[in-house]
Structure 1
Amino acid sequence: MTGKIECIQVGRAFHGDGVSTNAVTNINLSFIKGEFTSIVGPSGSGKSTLLSLLGTLDSPTSGKILYDGEEIMKKSKKMISDFRFENIGFIFQQFHLLPTLTALENVLSPLFSRKVSYNKVERAREVLEQVGLADKENSLPSQLSGGQQQRIAIARAIVHKPDWLLADEPTGNLDSETGDRIFELMKQLNEQEGCGVFFVTHDPKLAAKADRIITMKDGSVLSDRKGESIGYN
């Protein structure tokens, strides 16, 4: 279990064709398991880059990120992969469901190559029930609505009970009513499971419902405050 994440002077630069671009710079933040945090800001502000860094999908080019005091990205690729599997679940704007697999099989997919202490199929059915789609376990993605596909993606993300749920624009491809339902489902999971949630969004109305709102611009943190009605350009 990972209860705390700390970003210390974190930066991420990309280099190409003789040009260096700072996607994020000088990020100093800490997060406690159980918080629901929205990350907002205009396109290109560094939101998705920060999420990739927090989720160990990418490494800082400066500074460090500590998970319960450990610098995980200094470890071997296998240890990083194992840490990610044990601690972090990902949800994206694109659902990334495998089209030839059923809903149940898509939820099971993170477990295919893993040894776990529980019955994999029973656990997958449990999370399908949790997201309200127990009756769709044999359906292919093409037979599901966008909102249902996103709920399958959420079930897949939580199948191994991660400590942290990282969602990058999870409502971006959905109408506002469906997006509201997806947000409420994630809030419910946050409250019931105690997982920390990072919710990247362009929707100020949804962001305002979070416990905490981090606003970014040009790769930097502009503000870090408790949830309230917000707006940005």
Structure 2
Amino acid sequence: MTHTIKCIRLHKEFKGDGVNTIALNQVNLEFKEGEFVSIVGSSGSGKSTFLSLVGTLDKPSGGTVHYGKLDLKGFNSKELADFRFENIGFVFQQYHLLPTLTALENVMAPLLSRKVSYDKKERAKQLLEEVGLGDKMNSLPSQLSGGQQQRVAVARALIHEPHWLLADEPTGNLDTETGEMIFDLLLRLNKEKGCGVIFVTHESALAVRADRMIEMKDGSVIRDTGVSGL
């Protein structure tokens, strides 16, 4: 199948205390295979909500997400989990590394309950080499800097060679120089591995370096510097 992502009238409301809050309002967007896209906007603009829906971590109140010809609307929880494993890698602002596991073990963690056709340990070692941490494989997260922990998280996201890498404020906890290093790493991996990247950020200096930049406000897309929405 092709690995384009198409969002059609994607909508998300949160209900509480008798009040409905619209977090995402009828968004239509399409992402081409292998594209590097940044999404910007102030807090509360809907960026992270949009990413969680595209990544199938949450379900929309309305609308659909298509991966190629696949409509995910009817998938149950197990089917969505299997789909994510096969197609999507996640990088978050918080690194979410397991503190008692080494860098190598953290990278391998998504594979622990999965049968795969490759050597898990060898692939994890290769990825840590690629993100510049070949000498930190046996280090615990507490022995790594914030930038190093985020590089471990990037390697973990790539362990099953996903078609899309979804990054939610991955440089938000890092200083400017380290944040740029992480962004450059994602750019390089995008080019070398061909996986698409959707990069949510507050940092306009990084966002403008993507192939395409989408700006959101109040749950809607207000600007798209690349391919127009549907």
Does residue 7 (structure 1) correspond to residue 23 (structure 2)? The answer is: no
Extract structure 1 runs of 4+ deviating beyond 6 A.
Answer: none
Partner of 1:201: 201
Further displaced range: 63-72 or 102-111: 63-72
Please, which runs of 5 or more residues in structure 2 have no aligned partner? none
User: Residues of 2 paired with 1:3 and 1:32: CA distance?
Assistant: 7
Aligned to 2:110: 110
Alignment of 1:34-45 (within 5 A): 34-45=34-45
Where do residues 133-172 of structure 1 align in structure 2 (5 Å cutoff)? 133-172=133-172
1:46 aligns with 2:46: yes
Distance of 2:177 and 2:214 partners within structure 1: 24
Conserved 8 A contact 2:45-2:218 = yes
- Give the partner amino acid of 2:157: A
In the alignment, the residues of structure 1 paired with residue 33 and residue 83 of structure 2 have an alpha-carbon distance, to the nearest angstrom, of 16
In structure 1, what is the equivalent of residue 82 of structure 2? 82
Equivalent residues of 1:2, 1:163 under 8 A apart: no
Report the TM-score when normalising by structure 2. Answer: 0.97
Q: Secondary structure at the residue paired with 2:135?
A: helix
The residue matched to 1:20 in structure 2 has which SS?
Answer: strand
Matched residue, 1:64: 64
Partner residue of 2:223? 223
Contact 1:73 1:80 (C-alpha < 8 Å) held by counterparts: no
RMSD over aligned CA atoms reads: 1.1
Equivalent in the alignment of 2:91:
91
* CA distance in structure 1 between the partners assigned to 2:110 and 2:73 by the alignment: 21
1:78 positional shift: 1.2
Cα gap change, 1:140 to 1:128, in 2 (>3 Å): same
Task: Provide the C-alpha distance between the structure 2 equivalents of 1:125 and 1:139, rounded to a whole number of angstroms.
Answer: 13
- Sequence identity of aligned pairs in percent? 63
User: In structure 2, the residue corresponding to 1:159 is in which secondary structure?
Assistant: coil
Cα distance in 1 for partners of 2:92, 2:77 equals 23
Deviation at 1:116, TM superposition (A): 0.4
Deviation (angstroms), 1:2: 4.8
Equivalent-residue separation in structure 2 for 1:168 and 1:130 (angstroms): 21
CA distance in 2, matches of 1:2, 1:163: 10
Does residue 212 in structure 1 map to residue 204 in structure 2? no
Deviation at 1:127, TM superposition (A): 0.4
The CA distance in 1 between the partners of 2:48 and 2:76, in whole Å, is 24
> What is the Cα deviation at residue 73 of structure 1?
3.4
**Could you list the per-position Cα deviations for residues 36-72 of structure 1 after superposition, in whole angstroms to 9, with x for gaps in the alignment?**
0000000000000000011010111111111112212
Describe the superposition over 1:106-162 as per-residue Cα deviations: whole angstroms up to 9, x where unpaired.
000000000100000001001001101011000000000000000000000001000
Structure 1: which 5+ runs fail to align?
228-233
Residue 129 of structure 1: aligned partner: 129
How far did residue 165 of structure 1 move? 0.2
Match of 1:230 in 2: none
The two structures have a TM-score, normalised by structure 1, of: 0.95
Paired AA for residue 10 in structure 2: V
